[in-house]
């Protein structure tokens, strides 16, 4: 899976707001703001016979107060997400350059091996062939390890943004005494008054403007960090 496809999958993860329920706004003793049934205020008195409180069935629980978040928009426009994309693009380009260089070296070695096949004794040729096959296998393993490292580094950076968003949404929910947070992508319609996407995006940008993508080391060397020309 490419980095770009990976980020897209991370952005669309339905588990983005999974940690919101752990915040104090969702505690049992938190004051709950009742949400009126849509259209109740505009209903005509003559439209239906009025019912006394005693005739209305009670569920024993008030209706939930709702906050709606367009998580896809937040995770596309957030400054921290853009910083991660910029760094992964640089890392991917560096990785591709290194891979191209190794491919050129392997092609040159293969040509040399083919030319030596008719001039070297069988035992010497077999030794060179085994050395080439080992080098080829080492390059393959190195490529796979670096691809996994790149994906893991991007995933860890994305997870930091996700956790920060959960904290931001939890704070908004607490302020609004909300008992339920829903993703806008999962709803056909929601009254705009429930939407807190712009507030969540602004607060996330204030809380976390950038995240450094650090790649887990694939050797004894220190972890790689994306190098960009942007001034801090």
CA separation for the pair 171, 178 (Å, rounded): 10
Is residue 107 assigned to a domain? no
Is residue 162 assigned to a domain? yes
CATH assignment of the domain containing 12 = 3.30.910
Is residue 49 assigned to a domain? no
H-assigned helices in 58-121: 71-77, 79-116
The angle subtended at Cα 60 by Cα 59 and Cα 66, nearest 5°, is: 80
Token pair, residue 82, equals 């853009």
Residue 163 has pLDDT above 60, yes or no: yes
Q: Which residue's structure tokens are 């707001």?
A: 17
Is residue 115 assigned to a domain? no
The angle subtended at Cα 178 by Cα 176 and Cα 184, nearest 5°, is: 100
Provide the sign of the torsion angle of the four alpha carbons 110, 116, 122, 128, taken in this order: negative
Q: Which residue's structure tokens are 């491919």?
A: 103
227 or 126: whose pLDDT is higher?
A: 126
Q: What is the pLDDT of residues 166-222, one digit of tens each?
A: 999 999 999 999 989 999 988 888 889 999 999 999 999 999 999 999 998 865 344
**Which pLDDT belongs to residue 149?**
92
Is residue 85 assigned to a domain? yes
Quick one: average pLDDT of 138-145? 91
Count: domains in the chain: 1
Domain containing 156 equals: 3-27+66-97+151-225
**Which pLDDT belongs to residue 29?**
40
Is residue 213 assigned to a domain? yes
**Which pLDDT belongs to residue 57?**
54
Residue 67 has pLDDT above 50, yes or no: yes
Is residue 174 assigned to a domain? yes
Which residues have a Cβ under 8 Å from the Cβ of 179 and sit 6 or more positions away? 25, 26, 30, 32, 64, 65, 66
Q: What is the pLDDT of residues 86-126, one digit of tens each?
A: 999 999 999 999 999 999 999 998 998 888 888 888 888 88
């Amino acid at each position: 899976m490419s980095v770009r496809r990976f980020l897209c999958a991370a952005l669309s993860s339905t588990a983005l707001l999974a940690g919101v329920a752990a915040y104090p706004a969702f505690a049992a003793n938190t004051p709950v703001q009742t949400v009126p049934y849509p259209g109740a205020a505009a209903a005509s008195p003559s439209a239906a016979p009025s019912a006394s409180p005693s005739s209305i069935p009670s569920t024993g629980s008030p209706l939930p107060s709702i906050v709606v978040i367009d998580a896809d928009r937040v995770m596309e426009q957030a400054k921290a997400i853009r910083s991660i994309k910029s760094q992964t693009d640089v890392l991917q380009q560096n990785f591709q350059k290194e891979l191209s260089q190794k491919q050129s070296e392997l092609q040159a070695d293969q040509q040399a091996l083919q030319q030596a096949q008719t001039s070297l004794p069988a035992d010497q040729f077999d030794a060179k062939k085994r050395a080439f096959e080992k080098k080829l296998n080492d390059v393959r393993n190195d490529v796979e390890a670096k691809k996994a490292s790149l994906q893991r580094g991007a995933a860890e950076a994305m997870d930091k943004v996700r956790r920060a968003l959960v904290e931001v949404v939890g704070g908004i929910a607490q302020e609004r005494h909300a008992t339920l947070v829903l993703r806008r992508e999962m709803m056909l319609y929601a009254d705009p008054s429930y939407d807190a996407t712009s507030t969540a995006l602004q607060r996330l940008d204030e809380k976390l403007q950038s995240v450094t993508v650090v790649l887990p080391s694939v050797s004894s060397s220190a972890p790689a960090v994306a190098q960009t020309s942007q001034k801090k």
